[in-house]
Chains A and B, each alone.
Chain A
Amino acid sequence: MNDVITTHHLTKTYGPRTVVDDLELRVPQGCVYGFLGPNGSGKSTTMKMLLSLARPSRGEITLLGRPMNRETRPALLREIGSLVEAPPGYAHLTGRENMVIVQRMLGLSDRQVSRAVATVRLQEHMDKLVRAYSLGMKQRLGIAMALAREPRLLILDEPTNGLDPAGIEEIRGLLVSLAEDGVTVMVSSHLLDEIDRMASVLGILGRGRLVFQGTRAELFDRSTPDLLVDTPEPGRALALGVPAVRSERGLRLSGLGDDDTAALVRRLVGADVPVHGVRRVQQSLEEVFMDLTGREGLL
């Protein structure tokens, strides 16, 4: 499969702080790529570097098969629709006037603009001042601005921010259908649940590092389910220094591989701790995500 975005050693530092660390992104053509990470993990910074809004401290970016540099930048940017952080829109102009500005800026046809507006279903609101738009309407206008150039790649930073469930569902459907038409969509979020239902490939950032990249199934494969040990005397096991927490019927241990599990059982039995049962529990995707990115807040 062709990759539409690849990065190599992509790094961004602000003073002594490394906020994006050595990313090797691979975004395949025609997919919805869910870019996940807690607040402050570096999602927006990465997307800004992809869009030349921030300069990488180190590393290379290849977009649509071409290396990003001074010469290729203008042509590449024309093929990328984007929405980073807050949605754009001049509040004192109407939706239509805003779209005309984008149209003139990029030299687009009337047909391209009206198609983009129809895609986000904003036609009835085009003559209202953007000041009077709801947040959802602003987001949709921002997406229309990104779509009008008929991009091959869409880079959207938390496009569902502040939307109600119906609005989120609508954007989700829109992005999936764009991907079906061959547009590659990279969409960020700090909510796994929101992304999980549309993204076919996930990239997960934790503290600026890519902690996982692949499909949902691969994410499950990589995670180790928690181990439950049923015992009436959990206190004695803990006294042995077993890295566990108490659970309803005994102990719960996370991140234990097969060999470690065998060693644990041998140790408990050797110390005469009564073991009534040992079983694995499948984690939810949310727990896998939390394990990968760290449970404590990053802000």
Chain B
Amino acid sequence: MTLTAVNLELRKTRRLRVVLVCAVMVAAVVALTCANLMSDSARAGFDDPGAQPWESLLMSYVMVTAMTSPLLVAVLASRQVDIEHQGQGWMLSQVAGLRPGRLCRAKATVLGALLAVAVPVQTALVVMAGLAAGITVPLSPGVWVQYAVGLLLVDLALLCLHVWLAARVENQLVGMGVGLLGAFCGVFSLLMPPALARVLPWGYYAVVSPLRMGDDGFAALTPGYGWLAVFLAVVAVLFAVAGHRFDRTEA
């Protein structure tokens, strides 16, 4: 049944342009992240480890993704969920035995799979742009992979929250507003004290950052994986409970 539901969601993505939205967002992230590679001051340090060219690129990647990911997640969730409100899809599915909670899980699965492709591609493109621009300082890929995984996990958690929000609040402007707010919070969480960033869902974009701005350049930082695990577990429980409750609400 779950497999059928996922299959149906794939069919519904037709003409919804979620892949296009994703591709445009990836392109924008790569462009914004790499804009600084063109400056003369940056180019001067491409062969100087002391100038930290890779760290600088990764930090701008962290900042750009913290700002754009909340928006991307909000847009994807709203596009995939709004069709059920518009087309009486909740009722249509329910009288076929497909309950709304399962419908939401199927939507999160399909969109999550899309993000699971988009995030690695986007990260690889940024690194390739750095190489192409001429950074000759040796690259340490581990930290990039680490961040990409953390980013994807936070994206997936927020995706679940947004799918739920889009399903419960019919007016999709609300979800978009929350996404916009999230974009602000995401960026500012990089400047917040970590304790504050950990109470905001978007603060986890900062929690998974492997770098911080030190007094003299960028310093390595161990991402707060313990906190991330707690956050993911809380979201998973909330999403499961919400789905169960959603199954019991009335049309």
> A residues bordering B, Cβ < 8 Å?
48, 51-55, 74, 77-78, 80, 82, 84-93, 97, 100-102, 104-106, 130, 145
Contact = CB atoms under 8 A, between A and B. Distances in A.
B221 interface: no
Contact of A88 (B11, B16, B91, B98): B91
B119 to A, nearest CB: 26
Contacts of B15: 92-93
B216 interface: no
B4 interface: yes
Contacts of B113: none
Given A53-B251, A93-B15, A105 B4 contact: yes
Nearest to A86: B88
B4 to A, nearest CB: 6
B86 interface: yes
B4 A92 contact: no
B89 A88 contact: yes
Contact of A54 (B87, B89, B96, B250): B250
Contacts of A77: 95-97
Interface of B: 4, 7-8, 11-12, 14-16, 83, 86-89, 91-98, 250-251
A101 B8 contact: yes
B251 to A, nearest CB: 4
A187 to B, nearest CB: 16
A97 B88 contact: no
18 contacts: A48-B250, A51-B95, A52-B94, A53-B95, A54-B250, A77-B97, A84-B251, A85-B88, A88-B87, A88-B92, A90-B89, A93-B11, A97-B14, A102-B92, A104-B4, A104-B11, A105-B93, A106-B96
Nearest to A12: B250
A100 B14 contact: no
Given A100-B11, A101-B12, A88 B88 contact: yes
Contact of B95 (A54, A82, A87): A82
B97 A89 contact: no
A100 B8 CA distance: 9
A91 B86 contact: yes
Given A55-B250, A88-B89, A93 B12 contact: yes
B14 A92 contact: yes
A69 B87 CA distance: 28
Contacts of A93: 11-12, 14-15
A87 B251 contact: no
Contacts of B87: 88-91, 130
A105 B99 CA distance: 12
A90 B12 contact: yes
